[in-house]
Amino acid sequence: MATTSVKEKDFMTVVRERRSVRHYDPAAKISREELSDMLKEAALAPSSSNLQPWRFLVFDDPAVKERLLPIANNQKQVVDAAAVIAVLGDVQGYENAPKVYKAAVEAGYMTKEIAQNMIERTLTGYSQIGREKLEHIALIDGGLVSMQLMLAAKARGYDTVPMGGFHADRLMQEFEIPERYVPVMLIAVGKAASPGHPTTRLPIEDITFWNGFAK
């Protein structure tokens, strides 16, 4: 899966060194092949019933990124980074259950009978749970794939910044995104022109509870 020229960093280095980078070298491009490799790595993330409801709308054309710029509050990384990936959640993603489970059968991971049972249960169950819950699932799965994409990029020597600062309704309209998709976040990916500023984290004792909240 990895492009051969890539010198991958070890996991702890990637996790510790990733920062949100907002200044990019506009001359540094990333090939579609390498972007696709990163997306493949990201898509190894887990998802509810393995339905993989994430979809990627990749902006790598400078003229198209200019159209995205005002929608993303004129955040300069949108035009300077090699690409911006709109991570979308597909509320009808569960309709891919037959494809997902047939692939598992072909790979020898489950029997035809088990797959058929899973397909029926998935299609029946997910089609009944309503748009709000499906969006909730798509946003959770979309968050997981987004994080994995940022780590995959960092491992390959690129930097990223996740962006929630954009107008979802205008994004949908401008790029004629069908209603079945919900925007999760935008992720700029490229070569840093300057490093991201360091940030701190809350002490682990403040955010962790063991075996319940009662003292």
Ligand X SMILES: Cc1cc2nc3c(=O)[nH]c(=O)nc-3n(C[C@H](O)[C@H](O)[C@H](O)COP(=O)(O)O)c2cc1C
Binding site for ligand X (CB under 6 A): 19-20, 22, 75, 161-165, 185, 196, 199
d(CA 150, CA 42) in angstroms, rounded, equals 8
Q: Shortest approach of ligand X to residue 176 CB, angstroms?
A: 23
Nearest to ligand X of 115, 188 (CB atom): 188
Residues in the chain, total: 215
d(CA 81, CA 193) in angstroms, rounded, equals 10
Residue of closest CB approach to ligand X: 165
Nearest to ligand X of 53, 162 (CB atom): 162
Nearest to ligand X of 71, 163 (CB atom): 163
Q: Shortest approach of ligand X to residue 145 CB, angstroms?
A: 13
Output the six-digit token pair for 41.
């790595």
E-assigned strand segments in 75-169? 83-90, 159-163
Q: Shortest approach of ligand X to residue 18 CB, angstroms?
A: 7
d(CA 162, CA 18) in angstroms, rounded, equals 12
Amino acid residing at 78:
V
Nearest to ligand X of 126, 141 (CB atom): 141
Q: Shortest approach of ligand X to residue 102 CB, angstroms?
A: 34
The three-state secondary structure class of 53 is coil
